[in-house]
Chains A and B, each alone.
Chain A
């Protein structure tokens, strides 16, 4: 069975600090996709990043970066120079195929204080 764990329930940082959100996943599939979504108070899940199991190359996209390590089944997400608008709940998710059903973690609530 697939499972996603986000050990951090809530994180508070001061604006301009860097923050890393942790995600650990479990799956027996050899092909899978990992995602990070942001959920602001409006409720809509906003897609942030995606990684497939074939590619462990870590990348930076603007203020976002991620660290995918298959050896430890982790997919951590970092926001550099955090801003107040980054305050939201962040979900890590796993799917066996792109666009197929997601297994979500419990979420991490990030508060960025001015």
Chain B
């Protein structure tokens, strides 16, 4: 059973560019959350997708947007990249089971470097 997979693993972009990160949830999971982890800090919640809609959002600007596909996979898009967007981006998946969400599983992340 594949866990949460993210692609690419590493990425280098230039300031002002746009980037798309991808996440495939654990098999059977229907909810995907994205987190940004700056170096030496804990992960910060960006947003959560369920049933192809954004359900919750953290304190991130509109430059950060996302999408969830019918197969539950998800993309995170960041426009007009800033140097401060350099971070490890983590995806987590979970499932609603009998009215409650199951444990969240994390992927290995995408390391984004903005130069």
Question: Which of chain A's residues have a CB closer than 8 A to the CB of B90?
Answer: 43, 45
How many residues on chain A are close to B (CB under 8 Å)?
22
In the bound complex, do residue B109 and residue A98 qualify as a contact, i.e. CB atoms below 8 Å apart? no
How many residues on chain B are close to A (CB under 8 Å)?
29
B68 CB within 8 Å of chain A: no
Q: Give the residue of B33, B44, B106 whose beta carbon is less than 8 angstroms from that of A44.
A: B106
Chain A, residues 1-35, CB within 8 Å of chain B (1/0): the string is: 00010000000000000000000000000000000
In the bound complex, do residue A104 and residue B103 qualify as a contact, i.e. CB atoms below 8 Å apart? no
**B contact face: mostly helix, strand, loop, or mixed:** strand
A64 CB within 8 Å of chain B: no
Question: Which of chain A's residues have a CB closer than 8 A to the CB of B8?
Answer: none
B24 CB within 8 Å of chain A: no
In the bound complex, do residue A99 and residue B103 qualify as a contact, i.e. CB atoms below 8 Å apart? yes
Q: Give the residue of B35, B41, B102 whose beta carbon is less than 8 angstroms from that of A106.
A: B41
In the bound complex, do residue A102 and residue B108 qualify as a contact, i.e. CB atoms below 8 Å apart? no
Question: Which of chain B's residues have a CB closer than 8 A to the CB of A98?
Answer: 100-103
A100 CB within 8 Å of chain B: yes
The 10 closest A-B pairs by CB, nearest first: A99-B101, A104-B42, A99-B94, A45-B106, A101-B45, A44-B108, A43-B109, A98-B101, A43-B108, A104-B43
**Besides A42-B108, A99-B94, A99-B95, 5 new A-B residue pairs in contact (Cβ under 8 A), listed by A number:** A45-B43, A46-B106, A98-B100, A100-B48, A101-B56
Q: Residues of A at under 8 Å CB distance from B?
A: 4, 37, 42-47, 50, 91, 93, 97-107
Q: Residues of B at under 8 Å CB distance from A?
A: 31, 33, 35, 40-45, 48, 56, 58, 88, 90, 92, 94-96, 100-109, 111
